Structure formats: C-alpha cells, structure tokens
Amino acid sequence: MFLIRAALVVLSTIYWGTLSLFASFFDSTGRMQMSCSRRWAKQLLSIGGVRVTLDGIDKIKPEASYVIASNHLSYYDTPVILASIPVQFRFLAKRGLFQIPFLGTHLARAGHIPIPRADPRAALKVMTLAAETIRTRGISMLIFPEGGRSPDGELQSFKDGVTYIGIKSGAPIVPIALVGSREILPFGSGRIQPGAVTLRIGDPIDTAALSLKERAAVTERIREEIAAMIAKGR
C-alpha cells in the first residue's frame, strides 16, 4: 500500500503540476494555477486517507487579503492548507525548492516567492516584496514563521518576518494551528500514514495601527495563540 500511495502522489503531482504550468501561459493572475493546486491538494489528501476537520473557518473572508501564519509539522501541511483555506494565497518558500527542475519553474510561474535564509539583507527585500504583492494584487500570503518543519513536533521559536510583512502590507495576520499532520508524514520519513488532521483558525490580528517597533511582541503573541490552539488537541 505504501508504494501504491507513493506512486499515486508522484503521478498526481506531475499531472496537476503540468496543468498548472500550462495554465500559467494564459493566466497572469495565478488563479488558474491556484485552482490546479487546490485540486492537487485535495487529491493528495484522498490518496493519503487524510481527513481534515476545520475549526473557525467562518473567520476567513474568501475575497479578503491576509498574512496566514501556521505552525509547520509535515510536508502534508501545505496540501491541508491549500484544500481548506478559501482565499487566493501564495507562499514564501526556501530558495532551494525553486532550484528543483520542473517544481521550481512551477513555483515561480505560480507567483510563490523564494526566500534566502543565509542573507538577511536579501531576505528583507523579499519580505518587502511579499508585502507589496499583498497590497497591489489583493492576495494573501502563507508563511511558516518557524522557518521550516519542526523536527520533534514541538512548536519552535518564530521569526518576526511574518509580522513585518503583516505591518508593511496592512493585512490582518491570521494564526492557524495544525494538529495531527506530523503523524501523516513525519519529519524525515517518506511513508504516508492515513489519519486525521485538525486545522484551527484564530482571530485575525489587525495590523493597521501597529508599527515595526512592535513586531517582536506581536510575533510572540502569534506564537502564543498558535500554541494555545495546538494545546486543545484534536
């Protein structure tokens, strides 16, 4: 069963990735690519036998713009969020993903943004670009403030880039908590296990009156809210 699931995931990724890449030549808004990504995500959940429970989805307005801040446990986090959050969003991803043949081309043409981890000055320019993208295009941005997957399942410290982007863009920051995705595809494992994931959505944090001087305190507040939602369990 493991090999069958793995093969189906690869085939699904190639199929929807090809359609998305093809669509990018006809749709500069990225909406067609996002539609392909959602279908891919839902198919991956079905292949993996993953059931998702949503808590607080009424707090999200489909046509609004947000900075979405989530904990990060598994490679399955992105499909869960894509299949569940009904807004047009792009995400910040480590630059290495953009260097992978085919995948990197798809990510770039879909409007996702690579972020360099080793160059703070370049990272600041990227965060400013992300904020400008939210303002000018009216879309949302998904960010994993831990900077990568948690190796042990525990919530890691947050980088304050998520708050910087929220304040510079003026978009509300929405904390979300994923519970259970680590069991689906653990850190360092390639074996997908069927199971249940809970996605909790916290109250949007208004950034209109905030200044960049407050970003450390706001970042800690976001982390505390996500930790509280995780503590509720499934």
pLDDT at 172 over 80: yes
**59-103 pLDDT tens trace:** 999 889 999 999 999 999 999 999 999 999 998 877 777 777 767
What pLDDT does 116 receive?
78
Query: Phi, psi (5° rounding) for residue 173?
Result: -100, 125
Domain segments of the chain as ranges: 50-231
Question: Model confidence at 179, in pLDDT bands (50, 70, 90)?
Answer: very high
**By three-state DSSP, how is residue 85 classified?**
coil
What CATH number labels 50-231? 3.40.1130.10
Question: Model confidence at 234, in pLDDT bands (50, 70, 90)?
Answer: low
Average pLDDT over residues 7-24: 90
Higher pLDDT among residues 3 and 158, named by residue: 158
Q: Are 140 and 171 in contact (CB under 8 A)?
A: yes
pLDDT at 208 over 80: yes
Query: Phi, psi (5° rounding) for residue 27?
Result: -135, 105
What pLDDT does 123 receive?
84
pLDDT at 117 over 80: no
How distant, in Å, are the alpha carbons of 57, 171, 176, 178 from that of 81? 11, 19, 9, 9
Give ∠ CA 22-4-177 in degrees, rounded to 5: 70
pLDDT at 2 over 90: no
Average pLDDT over residues 201-212: 95
